[in-house]
Every structure is written in C-alpha cells, then in structure tokens.
Structure 1
C-alpha cells in the first residue's frame, strides 16, 4: 500500500530550528534516573557533527587475580587481566580526545585512537565470551567479580554489577559508540586539494556505510542475545543508555544513517535507477520512524537524553522531507 508522508507545519519549524543549530555539543549521554539532577559536567563544543554519538562508558579496573586466582588457571586469569587492563588504560587516557575531536585534528589523532581501542575490545570480547559460556568459569564470573563502568562525563555516575553479561553488554555498547565516532570523523567535510569548498569524499562515504552496519550489528547483538541473559531485576537497574529502547534507537539510527549515505551516493550516480533511489528513501524513513518510536517514551528528561531525542526527530523529519523532493513517481510509491 502506498504511503504518503505528510510534513506538518511543526515539522518544518523544527527542521529550520535544528538546521540553525548544527554545531551541537553532541558528546552526549543519557544519565541514569538516580543521577538526573543536572549536575553532570558538560563538555565544550566539539564542532559540527554528522552523527549522534553517546558519551563513552569506560571500565574501571578489576582485580581478577584476587577474585578468580583460586578458581581458574593462572594463564587464563593473566590473559583476561592483561586484555581488560589495556582497555581501561586506553579508554581513560584517550576517551576524552575521542569525543572532543574537532575537524582540524580528526585525521591526526582521532582515527588511530579509535582503531586501537576498538582492536583492544575485539581482542577482549572473545576471551570474555569463552569464559561466559564455560559453566565453571561462568559461576565465578557471575558471583565473584564486580564489573564497574563509569560515564566519562561524570565520575559519580557509575554502575557496578556482579554479572559477566553486564560486562559483555557494556563492551558491545562501547564498540558501537566507537564505531559511530569513527563514522562521524569520516563524514566531517575536508578541504579538497583543489581548494574548493570542503566536502566528504566518496571513499569516506562508502567506508562510513560499512562502519554504520558494524555499529548496528553490535547493538542488535546486545538487544537480541545479551539483554535477555540478564535477570529482570538487573535489567531494571541498568543505566538509561543501556536500556533496550535506547539500544534499539541507536541501532536503527546507525541503519538509517547508513541508508542516508547510500541514498546520497545513488542520487549522485548516473547509474542508479529510480527504483533503487525510491527503495533507499523508503528504508531511510522507516528506520528513522522506528528509532523515534523506540525513544519517544523513554525517561530521558535531561539535556543529554533530549539531544538524542532531538537528533532522531530531526533526522526523521529530514527523511520525510526528502520524499516529496524526489521525482513524483518515486515519492508516490514509497511503500514500507
């Protein structure tokens, strides 16, 4: 059935307002309910951004030898400790530079920092999952090790749980956050060699699509396979940015922005058919509509959570505006 996306006067006003506020303080984080009193330290402006990136949740040190030394082999404990300590050190030292990378320094430091920390997480996750799936190790990780993660924007806002699945969930969330940061760096316009207006290269756009898909994969795994492993009581005590609705919204955001980039490349290409452009436009609207549905009713009553909500609404309205701007035979046949 053909659908028409009607643009209300409110949508137009909202789009105009947001377009004038593109230089956002987007190092954002949705605070936990108990710490939503507005005392969070706000970072300075990070310049123009293309991607909403939640604030980094970084791990605090854990002494595995004290908790697991009498229960697991020395080699396993040392391996686990070394991998996690590497993440703790890198995240605490480099985390602030990742979320505050400005356009001028993005290519100098941001990319390598993201890649190194992402690699450290990719090395740690398989070892952690191997222990989680091992019955004996799981029992000890479940009850003897307390995993602590803290929001880098507010040291007082931390969550500690004695559950290895919480650690897996936090690792996946950090991997997705780093991927979104990396995509944002790729999509910052750069001055071309010919000296004309800064632009985003086609190579960077293509690379960002792959990164968006990777971020969506991490978040989808978190929602489908990790959250169900946590007891209901622990799920209720998770920080808001690990709530199912927020994770789903971030996942759909990554998919929506990936399709957005693909649509832009299709419009610029003489080889892309109208049917391809129409399909991409419809997918983009669908993803942003679903993202808004997931985040609309969440308790994000603070400046940080509101930024995420406004970003999603802005992209949804922008996607709807895109439909009428397409050729009539594309806009009128946009089906979900």
Structure 2
C-alpha cells in the first residue's frame, strides 16, 4: 500500500495549457537592485525608502503570482510611477546612477541597465502586459475555458476593446516618449522584446484586435450594413498587415518571438478572408456578369484564406509556449460556416459564366479605408512631491559607511 501511495504521489500534474484570444507578451518582472546603496547620501532617506520599498513590493507580488494578480499589482505600480519619475529628471542628475535589473517570469532572461528611463520603460511595458492579459481574460470566460463553445457577453467585448486601446496607448508612449530619451548605445543593450519594431507591432495589433471585436459586434447587429462590415474587415487587415511589416524586420529569437509572428500571420489571414467575403457579397449585388464573376473570385479567395488561417492558427498554438486551439467565436464563428457555404453556392450558380468569361476571372483589389481606431493618449502622473529639493534634508555619510556600502554592492 505504501508503495502505491508513493507512486501516485509522484505522478506529474497535468500541464496547464492556456488558451489565447489576445496575444500577451512574456511578462518581465523586477529583479533585486541596489537602489538604496546607489542613491544613499544623494536623496533623503524617506524618499529612498519609499522608492526601494515600492519596487520591492512589485518584485514580491510578481514573483508570488508570476504577474497574474493584476488587482494587487496595479495600485503599487500607480504609486511607484510618481516616485520613479523623479529619477528621470535631468536636473536631479540621477538618471544613470542605479543599475536596474529585470527578468522574465520564466527566469531565463535578465536585463540590467544603469538607466532610469529603462526602468520607466519596463514598468509601462509591465502595465501593457497586465492590460492585454486582462483583455484576454474577458474574452475567455472561465466557464468556457477549454470548451468548443465560447460565449462572450457584449459588455465584455466592449470592455476588451477599451483595454486594447489603453494597451496600445501605453506602448505608443514607450515608443515616442521613452525610447527617444535612451542613448543609442544603451538602447542596443535593451532586451529584444523591447525593440522599437516589436513594441510598434504590439501597439498596431492591439488596434487590429479591437477592430476584430468590433466586426463581431457589427455582425450581431441588424443595423450594420455590408459596407460597414467590409470596412471593418479591411481595416482589420490593414492593421495586421502593418504589424506584420514591423515584426518581420525584428530579431525574433527572444522568448515569444516566433509565436508572436505566427499570431499576426493567423490574424492577418482571418482578416483577409473576412474582407474578401464581404467584398464578394457587395460585388454580387451588381447586375453585370463581370460583377458576378468578381464575386465568385472573392468567395474562392476567402475560402482559401480561411483554410490557410486555420493552418497558421495551429502553427501559433504549437509554437513555444504551447497553447490550446481556440474555438471559433466572434466574427470567425459566423465566417467559418458562411464562407465555405457561400463559395460553393456561388461557384455552382455562376459556373456557366466562369466557363464563358475566363478572361474576367481576376481577383479584384480590396478597397482601402482610413483607419478608425487610435491608441488612447497616455500621460505620466505628476512627480511625487517628495522630489521637491527645497525641502530636502540629506544626512551626511562617513567614509567608513560609504566603503561598507560599496562592499555590500558586490
């Protein structure tokens, strides 16, 4: 009996294979840094304690939960930012005094840079990941996790769009307000997943996914016309095309790099299938033979793209780290059924025209539209009042204390 119990006790737990609706980058979390030693004697002790304490809280919370407890982490991040901003102020002369260390939740990669802008970049990147993770959770209700059916409420979809726009805004701030302040030689030492191209792709794809959700909502609305649905599908295609262009120029040898690329390919193909399907429906309303033939070409292209998108989805799911094959939901739940049906029906209906007018069998170009979604504007909070230097009282440090601190750093 004892042996059987011990064998059972040694059985491995089933791996927790996640389901992905919104692509969430690999979380980076703080690693221990010697803030107090680096800044001792340069800023007041109470400010130093606050800075160090808040960062340590983030470190402990993220290590305990692998960054999954957003409700606990957010308040600390929001409290840490105003204090951290003081280190980036040029007038304070402290930008490059602290060596900030960050690591991935998998503990496989660690980055260490003596630059307070790197710390700010890492914090806002963490905020982005938490926001995308929250959007992903909204679109994968726990009661449907692993199920072949996924039902997402309208409110959850709209909330997810808001979160995607917020995440895109965070990344745009990183690109245009933080990366530009990091010296080129330091920028070259940034972790690969903080490259400008990867951040830009992440921002654009968030807008693409927001548009994808809007397309699904339009399909559920009786008021949305074919033109509106085609426009949304074409906009979604434009976003993912841009995101792919950004990502394809980057070094993707980091953690989720290849999986990220497969995600964008998958979504790009889905969007293109949807765009050609709705373009075909509009072309089919024409009365001349060329319109009917163009419509059939659109439906055939949509069906082929749908097949390719399923292959890309499988490649995405198999790419490291492995994820579940998601059920069809939103716009694709409808299109996965309708595209093959309509393609077959229309090819049979207009088969005689295809034989007679072979010269007209040319896939028409998709229309281009001005993109509707924009990232939310993000601004940093006000700097903590504790950085008011007029009220500072800094204790002097003896040579012996200074030498001891230097020993503690190594």
TM-score by length of 2: 0.62
Aligned to 2:6: none
Which structure has the higher relative contact order (CA within 8 Å, separation 6+)?
Answer: 1
Aligned to 2:246: 294
Counterpart selection for 1:244 from 188, 196, 215: 196
1:100-147: per-residue Cα shift (whole Å, max 9, x none)?
xxxxxxxxxxxxx123213322221232124422511xx22x232100
Task: Measure, in 1, the Cα distance between the counterparts of 2:184 and 2:152.
Answer: 44
Aligned to 2:59: 88
Question: Does structure 1 residue 170 correspond to structure 2 residue 203?
Answer: no
Instruction: Give 1:172 shift.
Output: 1.2
Aligned to 2:21: 50
Aligned residue pairs total 273
Question: Does structure 1 residue 219 correspond to structure 2 residue 175?
Answer: no
1:74-110: per-residue Cα shift (whole Å, max 9, x none)?
23212212221111111111116x3xxxxxxxxxxxx
Task: Measure, in 2, the Cα distance between the counterparts of 1:285 and 1:94.
Answer: 36
Residue correspondence of structure 1 range 149-160 to structure 2 within 5 A:
149-155=102-108, 157-160=109-112
Partner SS for 1:150: strand
1:297-331: per-residue Cα shift (whole Å, max 9, x none)?
32224773111111111111111011122253388
Change (3 A) 1:278 1:129: farther
Residue correspondence of structure 1 range 1-336 to structure 2 within 5 A:
44-95=15-66, 98=68, 113-133=69-89, 135-136=91-92, 139-140=93-94, 142-155=95-108, 157-189=109-141, 191=143, 197-301=149-253, 304-326=256-278, 328-329=281-282, 334-336=367-369
Change (3 A) 1:317 1:131: same
Change (3 A) 1:74 1:153: same
Instruction: Give 1:197 shift.
Output: 4.6
Please list every run of 5 or more consecutive structure 1 residues that lacks an aligned counterpart in the other structure: 1-42, 99-112
Query: Given that residues 24 and 133 in structure 2 are in contact (C-alpha distance below 8 angstroms), is that contact kept between their aligned partners in structure 1?
Result: yes
Please list every run of 5 or more consecutive structure 2 residues that lacks an aligned counterpart in the other structure: 1-13, 284-297, 299-364, 370-410
Instruction: Give 1:286 shift.
Output: 1.1
Change (3 A) 1:329 1:130: farther
Query: Given that residues 96 and 115 in structure 2 are in contact (C-alpha distance below 8 angstroms), is that contact kept between their aligned partners in structure 1?
Result: yes
Task: Measure, in 2, the Cα distance between the counterparts of 1:144 and 1:335.
Answer: 50
Task: Measure, in 2, the Cα distance between the counterparts of 1:250 and 1:44.
Answer: 28
Which stretch shows the higher mean deviation, 161-170 or 270-279?
270-279
Task: Measure, in 2, the Cα distance between the counterparts of 1:134 and 1:73.
Answer: 18
Query: Given that residues 202 and 243 in structure 2 are in contact (C-alpha distance below 8 angstroms), is that contact kept between their aligned partners in structure 1?
Result: yes
Q: Aligned Cα RMSD in Å?
A: 2.4
